[in-house]
Structure 1
Amino acid sequence: MSTDEPSNETYNPWTVVNLVFQHLTDAGLHPVLGEAGDPGAHAAGLLRTLGVTPAAHDSRLREAVRDELAELRALHERS
Structure 2
Amino acid sequence: MNDQPAETYNPWTVVNLVFNHLAEQGLHPTFGAAGNPGEHAAGLLHAMGIEPTFEGDARVGAETRQKLAELRTKMAEEIDHHGA
- TM-score band (shorter)? 0.3 to 0.5
Query: What TM-score comes out, normalization by structure 2 length?
Result: 0.44
Higher relative contact order (CA 8 A, sep 6+): 1
Query: What TM-score comes out, normalization by structure 1 length?
Result: 0.47
More strand by share: 1
Which is higher, the Rg of structure 1 or of structure 2? 2
More helix by share: 2
